[in-house]
Amino acid sequence: MFGQNQRGSGISPKLLIAIVLAGFALSRYYCNSAFNDITGESQHISISPEQEVAMGLQSAPQMISEMGGEVTGTPYDALVRRTGQRLVDQSDAAKTIYRGQFNFHLLADQQTINAFALPGGQIFITAALLGRLTTNGQSIDEDMLAGVLGHEIGHVVARHSAEKLAQMELAQGLTGAVTMATYDPNSPNSGYIAQMVSNMLQMKYGREQELQSDDLGVRFLLQAGYNPEQLINVMEVLKQAAGPNRTPEFQSTHPDPENRKEHIRAAIEKYRGQ
């Protein structure tokens, strides 16, 4: 009968809470968006460019300390700064709010082969990677260096850090919802599914962002008068550094170097045709 209490026909309180948590996380994510003039895409982002710059400046000293300090007063760090600034000044990166915020750092770490960007324009390359960017085993190839720095500039102007932050907030919200819906006090591994949801969301976004930065890097290299073909050689350096036991692409936030080569070649053809 209408109005009669029927046991077992309603939604459990645990599932109802999970639905509310998931709805809040999704609503917060999709309601915060901004259009990026460089990529031509709308992004789900919850912080301003000014906040990105502040985050990067605040984090830079710690990054420098953790990577053996910063190399200064040498021809090598001067080359890094000069190459990075040329890329910014002579490419579409100059049209962004970050133009005056870029700083390029050479880190003293001789073991870690890496380059990375913090939000807002703080860009780093390790001495270990710089030393491998050669065509004859002796002098640094400026086009290869430009390929590395162009990729990192791409991360900054594409606002990948801010995008990633919003994605992580979404993943955490959905993880909480899945945990609430699936948690079983008698099964200590019941939260594993929730963690897998979070990890897979973040992996997907990471690979897409890396490929987009490769694309933007090619664009900036051509605009600044560098040879974008050398970015393909950078991929070979990364492949050799990773060795034969590197993590499969599906399980990594970075695409396989061979896959990235194909995308770089496609980007070169696309931008040279414009």
User: What digits encode the pLDDT tens for the residues 86-123?
Assistant: 999 999 999 999 999 999 999 999 999 999 999 999 99
In whole angstroms, how far apart are CA 233 and each of 76, 146, 193, 229?
20, 12, 39, 7
Reply yes or no on whether the pLDDT at 78 is more than 50: yes
User: What digits encode the pLDDT tens for the residues 179-196?
Assistant: 655 555 565 554 544 454
Q: Label residue 245 by pLDDT band (50, 70, 90).
A: low
Instruction: Enter the pTM of the model.
Output: 0.78
Residue spans of the domains in the chain: they are 13-272
Q: What are the contacts of 15-23 at 24+ separation with CB within 8 A?
A: 15/181, 17/180, 18/177, 18/178, 18/180, 18/181, 19/177, 21/173, 21/176, 21/177, 21/180, 22/173, 22/174, 22/177
User: What digits encode the pLDDT tens for the residues 120-164?
Assistant: 999 999 999 999 999 777 799 999 999 999 999 999 999 998 888
Of residues 249 and 49, more confidence is placed in: 49
User: Residue 35 belongs to what H/E stretch?
Assistant: strand 34-36
For all residues of the chain together, what is the average pLDDT?
Answer: 82
